[in-house]
Chains A and B, each alone.
Chain A
Amino acid sequence: MSIMKLTATTAAIALMTTAAAARDNVQVAGSSTVLPYAAIVAEVFGENFDFPTPVVESGGSSAGLKRFCEGVGENTIDIANASRAIKSSEVEACAAAGVTDIIEVRIGYDGIVFASDINGNAFAFTPEDWYKALANEHFIDGELVANTFTSWNEVNPEFPDQPIQAFIPGTKHGTREVFEEKVILAGCEEGGFFQAMLDAGVDEDTAEGKCMAIRTDGRSVDIDGDYTETLARIEADTNGIGVFGLAFYENNTDKLQVATMSDVVPTTDSIAAGDYPVSRPLYFYIKAAHIGVIPGVKEFAEFFVSDDIAGPDGPLAEYGLVSDPELAKVQDTVSGEVVMGSGS
C-alpha cells in the first residue's frame, strides 16, 4: 500500500466522522449513589418507550455537575445526578457557560447506615459515640487533647471490648459530608463538646471545624472506592465497622449486620418517617434548554418520578430508595418544567 493511499484513507475517515453531531439518546452523568437508581429507570424506560435507553455515567456528584455546567449543546450532558443539592457556585458556573434554566428534581432520600460483619458484635450507636470514637481531638477541661481511644468500650462502657476500626467514605464522596454533619458534628453538639468550646471562647467556625476533624492515626480509614471496597475491607478485618448506603446494605444482608442509630433501625420506613437521623436527599438536574432538542429528556424525567417508579411500591423503593413523601409536588415541577430560582 502506498503512502498516498494511506493518507487518502485516513483523510476519508476524518471527513466521515466530522459530520457527527446529532444525538438521539439522553445522556446522564453524576453521583455514583444515584447511578443504580438511574440505571434501573433507564432500563425500564428503554424497554417501554420508543426512545433509546439513556446512557448513564457515574463519576461523582461534583464531576457530573461540572460537566453539566460546561454549556448547552449536543455534546454536553442533559441530566446531572447528585447526592447533594447544587451549590450556588455551581449555579454561577452554569450561568457563565450559558446553562441558565435548570430544573431541580428531588427523587427521594438515601439512608446512610453503619454496618459490621454479620458474625461480629451488635452495636447500638448514638452520634455522640461516633464523635468520641473518631474525632481527631477531644475537648477536655478547656483543652484540645489528641483522641486516645482504641477500643469501643472506652467510648461507651456498654460496648464490647472491640478495637475501633472504621471505614468511612473518602472526601470525594458526597456521603462523607453527610457523615460529618449528621453524625460527627451532631455528636459533638449532643455531647456538649461544641458548647464547651464556644464557652471557652473558641469562635463558631473553628469549633465546628475541630468537631468535624477526623482522626488520622489509622483507626478511621477513608475509602475512596465504592461500597464494594468497604465490604471487602470488613470481610478482611471483622472488627471493622463501615459506612454504607441503605440500598447497598439491603442487597448484602447475608454478610452485614446493621447498627441502630439513636435506637432506630434504618429502614426505608423509618427514614421516610424522619425517625432515622442520617439520611440525605438525592437529586437530578435537567438542562431545560435540552427539552425538545434531545428526544426523550422530559419523558425520561417524568417517568423517573412517576408513581410506578419512584413511588413507595416502585422498583426504586424495592432497591432501597426512600420514596419522597412529596412526590406529587416533584412530579408537578417536572411536568411544568419549573426552573430553579423562578420563585416556586
Chain B
Amino acid sequence: MKTSLLAADARTKKRNAAEARFKAYGFAAIIVAMLALLILLTSVLGNGMSSFRQTYIALDVALPEEKLDKSGVRDLSVMSKVTTIGYAPILRNALLDALAAQGIETELSNKDIGNMISKEAAATVRNKVLANPDLVGQTVSFDVLASGRIDGYFKGRVTMESAALDGNTSPEALMIAQALADAGVMETKFNWNFFIWPDASDQRPEAAGLGVAILGSLYMMIVVLVLALPIGVASSIYLEEFAPKNRWTDLIEVNISNLAAVPSIVYGILGLAIFINFMEFNQSSPLVGGLVLTLMTLPTIIISTRAALKSVPPSIRDAALGVGASKMQSVFHHVLPLAAPGILTGTIIGLAQALGETAPLLLIGMVAFVREYPAAYTPESGLFGEASTALPVQVFNWTQRSDPAFVERASGAIITLLVFLLIMNAVAIYLRRRFERRW
C-alpha cells in the first residue's frame, strides 16, 4: 500500500475529524455557559440598575410651632410625643405650597397629593427637628423621598396605563410629578442611601437600603476569616506535614472531603442546636451566622490549603532538613511561605462562598426585618451579638415583598452582591498570579 505524507489516510482523517468534533463540542459548551451568564446579567442589570437611582422632592417645609410644640418651651420629651403620623400633614402642606408656587393645578384630593411623598419623609423631618428643636417656627429646606410609585414613573416601571389601574396612584399624580420634575422640584439622582439605609417595610420601598445587610455580611466575614483561616491552616499543616499516615488520618481525610459536600442547610441545623440552644448566643446575630459559615467554609479551606502544601516540592523540605532545620522550622520558614498564595486563594474563594450563602442563615433567624444597625460590640450583647441580616438574605426577603418596587431593589442587591464576589475573586486571581511559583 502506498502512503503519502500529503494525502491523509482514512485513519488520520478519522482522528482529525474526532478532534474537530471535540473542539466544536467544547466551543458549544462555552457558548451555552456564556449565554446563561448573559441572560442572568441582562435580567439582573435590567431590573436592578434603576435601584441605584432615586427620586427626591426638594421642599421648603414650614415647621409650625402650634403643631410641633404647643407648649413652646422646646422640651424634647414633650416634642417627641408628636409622632411621624403628626408630621405627615406638614409635609403635605409643603408640597401643596410648592404646587401653588409652580402654578400647577390639579383635581387630586389633598390626601392623594400627600401620598406622593414617601412615608419615610416624615421620619426624616422629625429626626431633624428633634435633633435641633430651634428649627420649629422656621421654614426649612428638605430633600425628601418621593413615594415608590412616583419614583417608578421616572424609572419607567409605572406608566400612565398601569397607574390608571393602580389603586395606589393615578395618572393625575404622575402628571403632577412630571410637572414638578420639569420645574426642577423633583429630581431623580444617584442613590447612595441604597447602600447606607436599613431595610424598610412594604409601605416604603423607596427607603429600603442595604446598610444593615452589608454590615451584617461584613461582621460575618470577619468572624469567618478570624476563625476559619487559623483553624483551617493549622489542621491542614498538621495533617499534611506532621500526622502519621495511618487509618485514623485516612478516616479524618475522608470526613473532611465529605463535609465539603454536605448541604449548607445542615450547618444551619447544627448552628441552631449548638450555638443558639446550647451555648445561648443571641438569635439573628452575625456571631452565630459567622460561626455557622465558619463550619461550612472550613472543609473548603482545609482542602485547598492541603493542595497548596502538597504542591511545594519535597526537595525544599529536604534541603531545609539537610542544613539542620527542625521539622517545624522547615514548615514555617520554607513550606508555608511558598504555599501562602494557594492558601490565600482558597480562603478567599471559601469566603466568597460563605458571603453568598442563604440557607443556613434561615434557621438561625437572620432572615428577618432588621432596621437597627448592629454594633460590633456592646456590653449587653457581646461581640457581634446584635440582630442583623446579610446580603443574600436581603435579596431573599425582598423577592417576597408584595410591592413591585421591591423587584428592582432585590435585583439591585444582587448586583451589589455580585460586585463584592467579583472583587473577591479578582483579588484571589491577582494573588495567585502575583505570588505563585512554579517548579
- Chain A residues packing against B (C-beta within 8 Å): 1, 3, 6, 9-10, 13, 16-25, 27, 29, 32, 35-36, 38-40, 42-44, 46-48, 50, 52-53, 55-59, 75, 77, 118, 225-228, 245, 247-248, 250-255, 308, 315, 318-319
B372 touches A22 (CB 8 A): no
A–B complex contacts, Cβ < 8 Å, 23 sampled: A17-B384, A19-B382, A20-B285, A20-B382, A20-B383, A22-B381, A25-B387, A27-B283, A27-B284, A29-B368, A36-B401, A38-B369, A39-B202, A39-B369, A55-B369, A57-B365, A58-B368, A59-B362, A75-B280, A247-B402, A250-B168, A255-B404, A318-B203
A52 and B404 within 8 A (CB)? no
- Distance A118 CA – B165 CA, assembled complex (angstroms): 9
**Given known A-B contacts A22-B381, A27-B387, A40-B202, A252 and B372 have beta carbons under 8 A apart:** no
Q: Which 4 A-B pairs have the closest CB atoms?
A: A20-B382, A254-B162, A53-B371, A39-B201
Q: In the complex the two chains form, is B370's CB within 8 Å of A226's CB?
A: no
One of B5-13, B224-232, B256-264, B347-355 at the interface = B224-232
In chain B, residues 145-204, which have Cβ atoms closer than 8 Å to a Cβ of chain A?
A: 158, 162-163, 165-168, 200-204
Number of interface residues of B (CB under 8 A): 56
Assess A40 versus B372: contact at CB under 8 Å? Given A9-B226, A16-B382, A23-B282: no
Contact (A40, B368) CB under 8 Å given A20-B282, A23-B381, A27-B283: no
A3 engages B234 (CB within 8 Å):
yes
Whether A47 lies near B84 (C-beta < 8 A) is yes
Q: Is B94 an interface residue (CB 8 A)?
A: no
The chain B residue with its CB closest to the CB of A309 is B85
**Cα distance A36–B401 when bound, in Å?**
8
> Is the pair B401, A228 in contact by a Cβ cutoff of 8 Å?
yes
Interchain CA distance A18-B291 in the complex, whole Å: 13
CB distance from A184 to the nearest CB of B (A): 25
Q: Once the chains bind, are A308 and B365 in contact (CB under 8 Å)?
A: no
Proximity string of chain B (399-410) to chain A, C-beta cutoff 8 Å, 1 when within and 0 when not: 111111000000
Which residues of the partner chain A approach B201 to less than 8 Å between Cβ atoms?
36, 39-40, 42-43
Known contacts A13-B383, A17-B383, A36 near B230 by CB under 8 Å: no
Please, which residues of chain A bring their CB within 8 A of the CB of B230? 1, 6, 9-10
B287 touches A17 (CB 8 A): yes
Contacts of A24 in B (CB 8 A): 380-381
Q: How far is the CA of A42 from the CA of B370 in the complex (A)?
A: 9
Shortest distance in angstroms between A327's beta carbon and chain B's nearest beta carbon? 17
> Does B95 belong to the interface (CB within 8 Å)?
no
Q: A36-B202, A59-B367 are in contact. Are A17 and B119 (CB under 8 A)?
A: no
Given the complex of chains A and B, what is the CA–CA distance between A46 and B127 in angstroms? Answer: 12
Residues of B within 8 A of A17 (CB): 281, 287, 382-385
Q: Give chain B nearest CB distance to A266 CB in angstroms.
A: 13
New contact pairs (12) apart from A22-B381, A319-B203, CB-CB < 8 Å: A10-B230, A17-B383, A20-B287, A20-B382, A32-B400, A39-B202, A58-B367, A58-B368, A226-B400, A228-B399, A251-B168, A308-B85
Q: A20-B281, A46-B372 are contacts. A248–B166 as well, Cβ < 8 Å?
A: no
